Amino acid sequence: MGFDVDSTTDEVVAGIDLSGRTVVVTGATSGLGKETARALASVGADVVLCGRDDAKGQAAADEIQGATRYQHLDLADLAGLRTAADELLASIERLDVLVNNAGVMACPLGRTADGFELQFGTNHLGHFLLTARLVPLLMASVPARIVNLSSQGHLIAGVDLADPNYEHRDYDKWEAYGQAKTANVLFTRELERRFGDHGLRAYAVHPGMVMTELGRHLDRSDLEGITQKAGNLPSTGPSRRMKQVDTGASTQVWAATADDIPGGAYLADVAVCDQLAGHARDDEAAARLWALSEELVGEPFPSWPGAH
């Protein structure tokens, strides 16, 4: 069945049976993450909803039909993240899909518990460390996949590998957002290069413009800025009209379930999308970002026999 910009999550999973599969979704207490968890649980998956707000997380797990549970996870605190990852590994026997959905967008300059710029630290470094901790179980469960939420916002900026945390340059919240979303794409490319041939595939997703809690830091001038930036983007490519949550989450649900998507692909509107900036296609930058990320989080990403 062909899908398009108007396809919903329920349409994407129609006829699919995920019984016996385990999925972990970050940022699953609301918005796109919660809808992704709901859709996958509706067709039999055991879904672990990860988030920072325990009350909202437990409420979401209780609300969603099917086998779901909540796991506290704060991507902006590496020590706590390590504890959460250990708890996850102790509680599940397999992991078929990791959906790195959580994120922050265009927030004022802030720092994570470890001193990283908040958007880069949360959207990329937190997910980098979480994935590193979970990749042995993903590899033990192959065929498996990792879905990283990026954005068309990656077109705004590449990753400044010399100063990713804005310690020596003026902070611009949209530039920082673009950097973090480019990091998500580069991480996807390097994951695919290292693990794709061994049954662990990786995908980067642009969900489209969806008004969720991701935009909680935005005011009227920010919304006008989004419109202006959208006007400066290429006229072709992903739809710019506002989506509902069920159509916004459909691409990541498709990435988590479809069998015929090329590994390492960038996806939008439930299709492979070729509107990818040159700085997000740079495999040398992807390798350098990987090495820098290992240095910043303070531990190596697990290697695998035969991995490139």
How far is it, in rounded angstroms, from Cα 279 to Cα 282? 5
How many other C-beta atoms lie within 10 A of the C-beta of residue 146?
27
Select from 228, 226, 120 the least CA-distant residue to 177. 120
Strands laid side by side in the 46-51 sheet: 68-72, 46-51, 22-26, 97-100, 144-149, 200-206, 266-268, 271-272
How many other C-beta atoms lie within 10 A of the C-beta of residue 48?
24
Distances (CA, A) of 116 to 17, 157, 297: 40, 18, 10
- Cite the active site residues: 177
Beta bridge partners of 66: none
How many other C-beta atoms lie within 10 A of the C-beta of residue 265?
20
Give the CA dihedral 227, 233, 238, 242, nearest 10 degrees: 0
Contact between 32 and 249 (Cβ < 8 Å): yes
**Cis peptide, bond prior to residue 262, ω within 30 of zero:** no
Helix (H) / strand (E) containing 275: none
